[in-house]
Structure 1
Amino acid sequence: MEPHTIVSREEWIAAQRAHLAHEKAYTRARDELNRKRLALPWVKVGKNYTFDTPQGRQTLAELFDGRSQLLVYHFMFGPDWEEGCPGCSFGMDHTDGALLHLEHHDVSFVAVSRAPLAKLEAFKKRMGWKFRWVSSAQSDFNYDYNVSFTDDQKKAGKVFYNFGVQDFECDEMHGLSAFYKDEDGVVYHTFSRYARGDEPMAGTYAFLDAAPEGRNETNGMMDWMRHHDRYEGDGRQQQKKA
């Protein structure tokens, strides 16, 4: 941690007040970004995607569960993986508490992965999660939404992810997609975000950003982040240094 200037209380308040102006500008810019997001065009979903769920095969339209809006988290869990991605798991640790509020705001939520349903259910039980999690193993959903990649794409070393061509990094990638279903049952894809666009879902970051050392990441989040049942000790760094 870099040393900080120690000042009087009056100087500290002046510095905080100056910084508050930047915080307010960021808030106003975020509000404007949200307004522009809601004004984006929609595209009709033309394919009849189906998913393996604990209730049997369901279509994308059925995943709305009687609501008009649906958020789909693209969770990185490949068919041959033994457990879900630690980063995706970190994000999902923040989800269950939001479900009641989302559902009472006409928004349903579901996570989707290509791993078989049995693997998803076992890992969900291990993590103690409650949100719905379904498998797209028998559909093109992951490929069409650019979070899974074909063998040809992987061999070429280039994939389409986050709305651009990038170097291939992993069989599975993460993201969040939003859908709307109108009164006639027509489903529209309204928005997707990927990569660091997912960060607002992880409230821990908001706390860390306000902490004295911030996120304190030297080589990305995987320096410190673990599945929540894999942390060792209690994280008290000063005791470790003593």
Structure 2
Amino acid sequence: MQQHQIVSREQWIVARKALLAHEKELTQARERLADERRRLPWVKVDKAYEFEGPNGIVSLGDLFKGRPQLIVQHVMFAPDWDAACKSCSFWADGFERMVPHLAARDTAMVAVSLAPSAKLEAFKKRMGWTFDWVSSGRNDFNRDYGVSFSQEEVATGKPMYNFGTTPFYGPELPGISVFFRDEAGAIFHTYSCFARGLDMMNAAYQYLDLTPLGRHEEGLPYPMDWVRLRDQYEPQPAKGACCHG
């Protein structure tokens, strides 16, 4: 951790206002980017995807639950795994309680993974999650939307993830895809993001970015090496705490 200058409150306010100017620049840039995102062209979805849910087979259209917009969180959970990816679970903990708020703005949200529904439901119960989660193991949805690749594709070393800009680090990778359904029932793919594009959706990271230590991931084998499933963290004693008997 770098050494920080210790100043008076008045001096701190001056420095904080200078940073605020840069924060406002970022906010304005983000708003412009969001507008560009909304102006992207759409692709009509012609495949009749079927997913396995806890109550049987459902279509892509069913996942909208009567709403015009659908957000799909692609959660890494291969059929032979016993648990979802710890990093994807880190994101899932963050959006767990967002679903009613999104629904209030005409938007449904669902998690999609390759593992069979029974495994998804068991892990969902373990984590205490309530969001909808369906299996895409019976279709090409994961491949079509850029989060599942064959071992042969991975072995080539050719970047295919994140629109061909990011090297593979495995056959199962994370992402978010967005869809729109019009009044006639036609479905359109409007947006997808991967890799660092997912970063803004992790509230815990955004909070850590406000702190002096930040994400504190320097020197780790990879940035999220520290992340565990929520029920696997070791209890951490409060550093600097004083206890008197």
User: TM-score, length-normalised on structure 2?
Assistant: 0.93
1:90 pairs with 2:90? yes
How many matched pairs?
A: 239
Corresponding residue of 1:224: 226
Matches of residues 10-25 of structure 1 in structure 2 within 5 Å? 10-25=10-25
Contact 2:161 2:168 in 1 (8 A): no
TM-superposition CA deviations, 1:162-219 (whole Å, max 9, x none) = 1115433112000100000011110000000001111222111121111121111113
Going from structure 1 to structure 2, the CA distance change for 1:237 and 1:162 (only over 3 Å counts) comes to: farther
Q: What is the alpha-carbon distance in structure 1 between the residues aligned to residue 23 and residue 75 of structure 2?
A: 31
Q: What is the alpha-carbon distance in structure 2 between the residues aligned to residue 63 and residue 4 of structure 1?
A: 50
Q: Describe the SS at the equivalent of 2:131.
A: coil
Matches of residues 103-182 of structure 1 in structure 2 within 5 Å? 103-164=103-164, 166-182=166-182
Aligned-partner residue type, residue 152 of structure 2:
D
Q: What is the alpha-carbon distance in structure 2 between the residues aligned to residue 157 and residue 221 of structure 1?
A: 21
Aligned-partner residue type, residue 234 of structure 2:
E
Corresponding residue of 2:32: 32
Going from structure 1 to structure 2, the CA distance change for 1:221 and 1:151 (only over 3 Å counts) comes to: closer
Q: CA deviation at 1:237?
A: 4.3
Q: Which moved more, 1:214-223 or 1:78-87?
A: 214-223
Q: What is the alpha-carbon distance in structure 2 between the residues aligned to residue 86 and residue 137 of structure 1?
A: 20
1:193 pairs with 2:203? no
Q: Describe the SS at the equivalent of 1:196.
A: helix
Q: Which moved more, 1:24-33 or 1:201-210?
A: 201-210
Q: 1:233 aligns with which of 226, 229, 235?
A: 235
Q: CA deviation at 1:70?
A: 0.3
Aligned residues: percent identity?
A: 50
Deviating runs (4+, > 4 A) in structure 1? none
Going from structure 1 to structure 2, the CA distance change for 1:38 and 1:31 (only over 3 Å counts) comes to: same
Q: What is the alpha-carbon distance in structure 1 between the residues aligned to residue 185 and residue 140 of structure 2?
A: 21
**Gaps (5+ residues) in structure 1?**
none
Q: Which moved more, 1:135-144 or 1:162-171?
A: 162-171
Q: Describe the SS at the equivalent of 2:22.
A: helix
Aligned-partner residue type, residue 229 of structure 1:
D
Q: Describe the SS at the equivalent of 1:178.
A: strand
Q: What is the alpha-carbon distance in structure 2 between the residues aligned to residue 5 and residue 119 of structure 1?
A: 52
Going from structure 1 to structure 2, the CA distance change for 1:75 and 1:235 (only over 3 Å counts) comes to: farther
Q: What is the alpha-carbon distance in structure 2 between the residues aligned to residue 236 and residue 76 of structure 1?
A: 33
